[in-house]
């Protein structure tokens, strides 16, 4: 591991990072100016030290006042010139740094948009973020100081060596030059390890950021399960790794500097001893001796500055490498590669598709389906059955492991994803609105849409009148307009429609809305979908009764398909789901609900109460839960049975190790907690609302009161409960 990293860092130091260099090179004109300017500065600096020799040998010792004045005048002019140049060069250079760093940031950001979805699935967004923020910040900080800590001292070293040649007999000059590399032996040994340590430190920073990202994104779940300690422990572990690596990287970095400084002092002492002896023997003039000591001293100082800058150079090199790695990641080649996708003429289809986000765990298994052009096709099925995954494949966010997605019979891999997706309009359950005006939010669907196009789309989404009623109309920032869930969805629909898509893709587009808004928006979608192919994913069957075709998914397989009527007649999966949902009616505002007695018959524990079901139905009371809320907690005493009217919940069970494991998801029409109707037993799993939920609940007291009046039913109910217990 360390071996590989050492090599990696050495690579950066010897072989330039091509991608970053390419980006920075676009700004090279100014840089071409900075180098000669810095060289001039170093030369003037050299003149300063050389002047001691002339001052002493030509003016002070011979007592020549005119020479003294002339030398001092030249000296003053050189100092003023060097200072002026340095000020100007600093300004020019810092401006270059600002542009170069902006170019690197922009390159990373652009490239990040073009990375395939799978890159983020594998690395998380913290990966790109840390490269964009902390790595570029390292590069920036280093670049700002680079002229003064690297370029200038390096040039000063060259000038100083030239001066040695001028001042000393050649054999001594050569010795004086060759002795310096000795001072660099220490750093050479330590520097590669320091570089590797810096790279590891940054990897640990990314890991820490990843932990934080994940925890912040999941804060509701963390609250719901009270995972503070577990999450804190993970963060602390990542923090521990980071601290250890920081300490190691810091130790090695300072060691690089320390070893250099010590070696330089040793070299200095040796050189001064030799030169002092020469001057004593009168083989060196007094002026030359003093000039030599000054040159040697400033040469040593330049090398110390270089050594001091080594740690930040090493750290910046590690950062540059990380940025380079990201820029080297192949972009989603499918985006622009391939033919332009044609408008759909016949159908969009999945042909024997097997697909898993993790190839070892397929979520779609040999699924085949056909969506005819112009049809309104619904994809239904339990939560987690793979509905959204079908859409991910149709839009080619992912690619199947087996089989193909076909547009008019042709594998969509032939087409560029850009042109393919341009034919589609998407509306998801939670629509993201950006902090921009209403108009710009709609225009995101097609950036070259005119104001008239935006307005037409808003009309089709039936939100135009509302928008014009806003204080600044289409220019109102979405943050200033208080939008209801329905209005947000309508803006998202307008965004999808502004590209006049041949295919309208709806993923639970109305699932989060109350029934009135849901019905209204579904009607809008029907009108907007005329002349288009519409693919609507939903777990709520009431909204798709009149679909041209309903595809029923279960565990990643298409198990049934047909119209609503045909599927009911089939009396299979769909009919069962339908009966469970249809027996429950929700009030228009979504706050209350009622269950029909026939619906209760579907539950084996309630069924024995036959004659009493009408009364039992009236005993159900509504209960709401916000997304993230724990509805029942494992281990708590339970005294209620739940029917899910609307919403999605997850069922999790804590393992003996304390780790929660997701058992499954339940949604509209599903039930849980029936055993609590008979006995006061602790809940055997935790149920958490994933979306805002509405339940109908029945208490044990109410159930037992009715059971009292139906003595023959009691034995049946007990038998069902025993069977349930044995089964679970």
Ligand X SMILES: Nc1ncnc2c1ncn2[C@@H]1O[C@H](COP(=O)(O)OP(=O)(O)O)[C@@H](O)[C@H]1O
Please identify, using beta-carbon distances, which residue of 383 and 416 lies nearer to ligand X. Answer: 383
Among the listed ranges 218-226, 387-395, 408-416, 659-667, the one in contact with Mg ion (CB under 5 A) is: 387-395
CB-based closest residue to Mg ion: 388
Q: 665 with 382: CB under 8 angstroms? A: yes
Cα distance between the two ends of the chain:
47
**Rounded least distance, CB 602 to Mg ion, Å:** 25
| Contact between residue 438 and residue 467 where contact means Cβ atoms under 8 Å apart | yes
**Part of the chain binding Mg ion (CB under 5 A), chosen from 384-392, 441-449, 462-470, 618-626:** 384-392
- CB closer to ligand X, 502 vs 667: 667
Minimum distance, C-beta of residue 471 to ligand X, in the bound complex (Å):
39
Residues touching Mg ion: how many (CB under 5 A)? 1
Beta carbon nearer to ligand X, 392 or 534: 392
Q: Which is nearer to ligand X, 389 or 634 (CB)?
A: 389
Question: Minimum distance between the CB of residue 506 and ligand X, rounded to whole angstroms?
Answer: 12
Distances (CA, A) of 699 to 148, 286, 291, 703: 77, 106, 99, 6
Tokens for 712, please give them.
């023959």
Q: Does 554 bind Mg ion (CB under 5 A)?
A: no
Residue 385, binding choice from ligand X, Mg ion, none, Cβ under 5 to 8 Å by partner class: ligand X
CA distance readout (Å), 510 to 537, 611, 630 = 10, 37, 23
400 binds, among ligand X, Mg ion, none (CB under 5 to 8 A by kind): none
Alpha helices in 147-280 (DSSP H): 152-167, 170-178, 180-183, 185-217, 219-224, 228-280
Q: Which does 195 bind (CB under 5 to 8 A by kind): Mg ion, ligand X, none?
A: none
Q: Minimal CA–CA distance to 149: which of 314, 323, 21, 262?
A: 314
How many CB atoms neighbour CB 665 within 10 A? 16
- Cβ atoms of 486 and 462 within 8 Å: the answer is no
Min dist. Cβ of residue 550 to ligand X (A)? 14
Q: Which does 347 bind (CB under 5 to 8 A by kind): Mg ion, ligand X, none?
A: none
The one segment of 150-158, 159-167, 332-340, 381-389 that binds Mg ion by CB under 5 A: 381-389
Binding site residues, ligand X, CB under 6 A: 121, 357, 363, 381, 383-389
| Cβ proximity to ligand X, 204 vs 551, nearer residue | 551
Nearer to ligand X, 478 or 553 (CB): 553
Task: For the segment 652-681, give every residue that binds Mg ion (CB under 5 A).
Answer: none
**Residue 383 binding result from Mg ion, ligand X, none, given CB thresholds of 5 to 8 Å by partner type:** ligand X
Closest separation in Å from C-beta 357 to ligand X: 3
Q: From CA 720, how far away is CA 711, in angstroms rounded? A: 15
Binding string, 418-457, against Mg ion, x = CB under 5 A?
A: ----------------------------------------
* Nearest distance, CB of residue 603 and Mg ion, angstroms: 26
From ligand X, Mg ion, none, interface partner of 148 (C-beta below 5 to 8 A by class): none
Closest to Mg ion by CB, 504 vs 675, is 504
CA 670 → CA 381, 599, 610, 623, distances in Å? 12, 11, 20, 15
Least CB distance to ligand X at residue 551 (A): 12
265 binds, among ligand X, Mg ion, none (CB under 5 to 8 A by kind): none
Distance CA 707, CA 616 (A): 10
Q: Least distance (Å) from Mg ion to the CB of residue 627?
A: 15
Q: Closer to ligand X by CB, 268 or 431: give it.
A: 431
DSSP string, 282-314: TSS-HHHHHHHHHHHHHHHHHHHHHHHHHHHHH
* C-alpha span between 323 and 318 (Å, rounded): 9
At its nearest, how many Å lie between ligand X and the CB of residue 395? 13
Q: Which is nearer to ligand X, 152 or 511 (CB)?
A: 511
**Positions 100 through 119 that interact with Mg ion (CB under 5 A):** none
Shortest distance, position 391 Cβ to Mg ion, whole Å: 8
Which of the choices Mg ion, ligand X, none does residue 124 contact, using the CB cut-off of 5 to 8 A by kind?
none
The Cα–Cα gap between 238 and 108 comes to 26
The residue with tokens 């760093």 is 101
Task: Indicate the residue among 388 and 419 with the shorter CB distance to Mg ion.
Answer: 388
384 binds, among ligand X, Mg ion, none (CB under 5 to 8 A by kind): ligand X
Cβ distance to Mg ion smaller for residue 206 or 383:
383
CB of 363 to ligand X, least distance (A): 4
What order do you get walking across the sheet with 686-689 strand by strand? 630-632, 686-689, 648-654, 660-667
The H or E element that residue 564 is part of is helix 564-570
**Cα 93 from Cα 77, distance rounded (Å):** 24
Q: Find the shortest distance in angstroms from Cβ 228 to ligand X.
A: 24
Question: Measured between alpha carbons, how far is 163 from 583 in angstroms, rounded to an integer?
Answer: 97
Residue of 7, 170, 32, 12 whose CA lies nearest to 89 = 32
Residue 457 in tokens: 């789309």
* CA 37 and chain centroid, separation: 42
Does residue number 241 form part of the binding site for Mg ion (CB under 5 A)? no
SS (H, E, C) 639-708: CEEEEEEECEEEEEEECCCCCEEEEEEEECCCEECHHHHCCCCECCCEEEECCCEEEEEEEHHHHHHHHH
Query: Of Mg ion, ligand X, none, which one sits near residue 357, judging by CB under 5 to 8 A according to partner kind?
Result: ligand X
Q: If contact means CB under 5 to 8 A according to the sort of partner, which of ligand X, Mg ion, none does residue 666 touch?
A: none
> Least distance from C-beta 31 to Mg ion, angstroms?
52
The distance of closest approach from Cβ of residue 629 to ligand X in the complex, given in angstroms and rounded to an integer, is 20
* CB contact burial 183-206 (16+ within 10 A = b; e otherwise): bbebbeebbbbbbbbbbbbbbbbb
Helices 286-328 and 18-25, axial angle in degrees (round to 10): 110
Indicate which of Mg ion, ligand X, none lies near residue 386 (CB less than 5 to 8 Å, by partner kind).
ligand X
Q: Which of 573, 582, 622 is nearest to 601 (CA)?
A: 582
Nearer to Mg ion, 388 or 697 (CB): 388
The residues, ordered by sequence, that sit 6+ positions from 76 with a Cβ below 8 Å of its Cβ are: none
Other C-beta atoms closer than 10 Å to the C-beta of 576 total: 12
DSSP class per residue in 433-484 = --SSBHHHHHHTT-TT--HHHHHHHHHHTT-HHHHHHSTTGGGSBTTTS---
Residue 388 interacts with Mg ion (CB under 5 A): yes or no: yes
Closer CB to ligand X, residue 224 or residue 666? 666
Q: What is the DSSP letter of 343?
A: P
CA angle at residue 128 from 126 to 132, to 5 degrees? 110
CB of 461 to Mg ion, least distance (A): 22
- Provide the 3-class DSSP secondary structure of residue 281: coil
For Mg ion, which stretch binds (CB under 5 A), given 178-186, 382-390, 602-610, 621-629? Answer: 382-390
156 or 392: whose CB is closer to ligand X?
392
With CB under 5 to 8 Å by kind, the binding choice for 192 among Mg ion, ligand X, none is none
Residue 363, binding choice from ligand X, Mg ion, none, Cβ under 5 to 8 Å by partner class: ligand X
CB 193 within 8 A of CB 8: no
Report the residue number, 387 or 540, with the smaller CB distance to ligand X: 387
Output the smallest distance, CB 662 to ligand X, in A. Answer: 8
Output the CA torsion sign for 532, 535, 538, 544: positive
Question: Which CB, 388 or 603, lies closer to Mg ion?
Answer: 388
Please give the residue ranges that form the binding site for Mg ion (CB under 5 A): 388
């Amino acid at each position: 591991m360390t071996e590989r990293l050492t090599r990696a860092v050495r690579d950066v130091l010897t072989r330039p990072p091509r991608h970053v260099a390419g980006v920075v090179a676009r700004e090279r004109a100014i840089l071409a100016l900075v180098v000669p300017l810095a060289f001039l500065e170093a030369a003037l600096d050299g003149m300063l030290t050389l002047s001691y020799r002339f001052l002493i040998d030509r003016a002070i010792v011979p007592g020549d006042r005119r020479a003294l004045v002339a030398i001092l005048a030249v000296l003053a002019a050189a100092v003023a010139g060097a200072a002026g140049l340095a000020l100007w060069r600093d300004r020019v250079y810092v401006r270059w740094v600002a542009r170069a760093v902006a170019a690197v940031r922009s390159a990373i950001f652009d490239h990040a948009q073009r990375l395939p979805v799978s890159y983020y699935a594998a690395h998380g967004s913290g990966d790109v973020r840390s490269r964009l923020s902390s790595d570029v910040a390292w590069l920036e900080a280093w670049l700002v100081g680079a002229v003064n800590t690297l370029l200038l001292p390096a040039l000063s070293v060259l000038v100083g060596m030239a001066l040695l040649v001028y001042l000393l007999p050649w054999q001594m000059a050569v010795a004086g030059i060759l002795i310096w590399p000795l001072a660099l032996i220490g750093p050479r040994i330590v520097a590669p390890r320091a570089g590797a340590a810096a790279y590891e430190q940054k990897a640990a920073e990314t890991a820490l950021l990843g932990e934080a990202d994940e925890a912040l994104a999941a804060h509701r779940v963390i609250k719901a399960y009270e995972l503070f300690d577990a999450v804190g422990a993970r963060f602390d572990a990542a923090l521990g790794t980071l601290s250890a690596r920081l300490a190691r990287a810091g130790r090695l970095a300072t060691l690089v500097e320390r070893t250099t400084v010590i070696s330089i002092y040793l070299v200095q002492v040796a050189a001064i001893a030799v030169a002092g002896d020469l001057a004593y023997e009168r083989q060196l003039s007094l002026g030359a001796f003093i000039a030599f000591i000054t040159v040697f001293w400033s040469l040593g100082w330049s090398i110390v500055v270089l050594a001091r800058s080594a740690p930040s150079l090493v750290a910046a090199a590690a950062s540059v490498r990380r940025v380079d790695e990201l820029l080297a990641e192949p972009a989603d080649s499918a985006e622009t590669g391939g033919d332009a996708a044609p408008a759909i003429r016949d159908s969009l289809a999945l042909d024997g598709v097997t697909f898993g986000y993790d190839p070892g765990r397929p979520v779609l298994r040999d699924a085949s389906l056909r969506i005819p052009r112009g049809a309104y096709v619904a994809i239904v099925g339990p939560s987690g059955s793979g509905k959204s995954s079908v859409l991910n494949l149709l839009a080619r966010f992912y690619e199947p492991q087996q089989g193909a997605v076909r547009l008019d019979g042709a594998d969509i891999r032939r087409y560029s994803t850009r042109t393919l997706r341009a034919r589609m309009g998407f509306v998801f359950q939670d629509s993201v609105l950006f902090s921009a005006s209403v108009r710009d939010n709609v225009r995101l669907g097609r950036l070259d849409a005119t104001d008239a196009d935006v307005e037409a789309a808003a009309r089709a989404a039936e939100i135009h009148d509302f928008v014009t009623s806003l204080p600044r109309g289409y220019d109102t920032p979405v943050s200033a307009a208080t939008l209801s869930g329905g209005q947000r969805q309508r803006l998202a629909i307008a965004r999808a429609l502004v590209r006049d898509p041949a295919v309208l893709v709806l993923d639970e587009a109305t699932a989060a809305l109350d029934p009135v808004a849901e019905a209204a928006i579904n009607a809008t979608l029907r009108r907007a979908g005329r002349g288009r192919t519409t693919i609507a994913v939903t777990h709520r069957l009431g909204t798709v009764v009149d679909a041209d075709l309903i595809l029923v998914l279960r565990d990643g397989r298409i198990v049934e398909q047909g119209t609503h009527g045909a599927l009911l007649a089939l009396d299979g999966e769909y009919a069962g789901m339908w009966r469970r949902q249809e027996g429950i009616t929700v009030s228009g505002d979504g706050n209350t609900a009622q269950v029909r007695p026939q619906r209760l018959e579907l539950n084996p524990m309630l069924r024995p109460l036959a004659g009493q079901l009408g009364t039992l139905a009236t005993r159900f009371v509504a209960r709401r839960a916000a997304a993230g809320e724990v509805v029942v907690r494992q281990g708590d005493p339970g005294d209620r049975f739940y029917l899910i009217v609307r919403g999605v919940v997850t069922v999790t069970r804590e393992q003996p190790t304390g780790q929660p494991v997701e058992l499954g998801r339940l949604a509209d029409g599903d039930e849980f907690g029936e055993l609590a109707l008979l006995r006061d037993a602790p809940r055997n799993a935790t149920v958490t609302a994933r979306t805002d939920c509405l339940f109908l609940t029945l208490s044990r007291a109410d159930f037992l009161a009715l059971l009292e009046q139906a003595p023959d039913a009691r034995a049946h109910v007990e038998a069902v409960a025993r069977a349930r217990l044995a089964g679970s």
